[in-house]
Amino acid sequence: MLLRNGAAVRIAVSSSTFRRPLAGGALTQLEWVERCASLLGADGVLADMADFPRTDGEYVAQLRKVAVDLGLVPFGIDAPGLLDPAATAAFRDEVVAVAAGFGAAVIRTVLPAPGEVPPATFVETVRAAKALARAAKGANVTLLVAAAPGTLGEDLAGVKHLLKDVDSAWLRAVPSALLEPAEIGAKDRYPAFIATPSDDPGAVAARRDGAWIILDLADAAEPWDAAAAAVRALRVAAAEHRLARA
């Protein structure tokens, strides 16, 4: 049985979790969207740029229509290399165009590796992020930057340090769903949070009531059972949290 929720945690699933079956041809992107609705009962999806068989407007519009018809929010696009110094302007424009066509609210990415001269990489990344933020504003899409090992933003503090230099409302950090409420400042605005199956679902539900949760799972050959279990655990925890508050 799928547990749907009202205004409790809203769960978005990324296609990066399903990279192996998608890349191997055992699963199409359209089938992935359908199963996120029918098997997982997710609220939304993030389509990774690496998983698009085509990025023309007709196909992206079809993907959006399938998601919406199934009751899913086309929540976002994943594009990990978007701020890499080697990324071309054409690639960045393509990502923003795909996000706009998909009707995405967010584009999620990470900061690049420090490189041989970290200060220079930092400056280049700030410059690229400012340009990207302007493009995102034009498309009405918010850029989310996640912390990642081996990058300029290894933790939330590192991400926020760079975002401070960019100084754009269209560029936001995306922290762990376990972030303590006391750690959220008055000026912090987080459109979404990241959760993994190893996170305590009760803590996630209690701290992120009403928020969007991007559920990240390790890439696996058969990810559906693990994804379904993680979604269900969050649904049950959210329901219990709501009952306890009633």
High-pLDDT (> 70) share of the chain, % = 97
Contact 205, 240 (CB under 8 A): yes
Taking the C-alpha atoms of residue 193 and residue 180, their distance in angstroms, rounded to an integer, is 12
Question: Can you give the pLDDT at residue 204?
Answer: 97
Which of 236, 242, 231 has the alpha carbon at shortest distance from 11?
A: 231
Buried b / exposed e over 25-64, threshold 16 CB at 10 Å, is eebebeebbbbbbeebbbbbbbbbbebbeeeeeebbeebb
pLDDT in tens, 21-32: 999 999 999 999
- pTM for this prediction: 0.94
pLDDT at 81 over 80: yes
Question: Mean pLDDT score of the chain, rounded to an integer?
Answer: 93
DSSP letter (8 states) at residue 56: S
In the structure, what pLDDT confidence band is assigned to residue 137 with cuts at 50, 70 and 90? very high
pLDDT at 7 over 60: no
For each of the domains in the chain, give its residue range(s) and CATH number, in order of start. Answer: 10-245 (3.20.20.150)
Taking the C-alpha atoms of residue 184 and residue 162, their distance in angstroms, rounded to an integer, is 17
Sign of the CA dihedral 207, 213, 214, 215?
positive
In the structure, what pLDDT confidence band is assigned to residue 1 with cuts at 50, 70 and 90? very low
Q: How many residues does the chain have?
A: 246
pLDDT in tens, 219-242: 777 799 999 999 999 999 999 988
Per-residue CA distances from 31 to 18, 36, 37, 98, 196 (Å): 11, 9, 10, 19, 23
Question: Can you give the pLDDT at residue 4?
Answer: 45
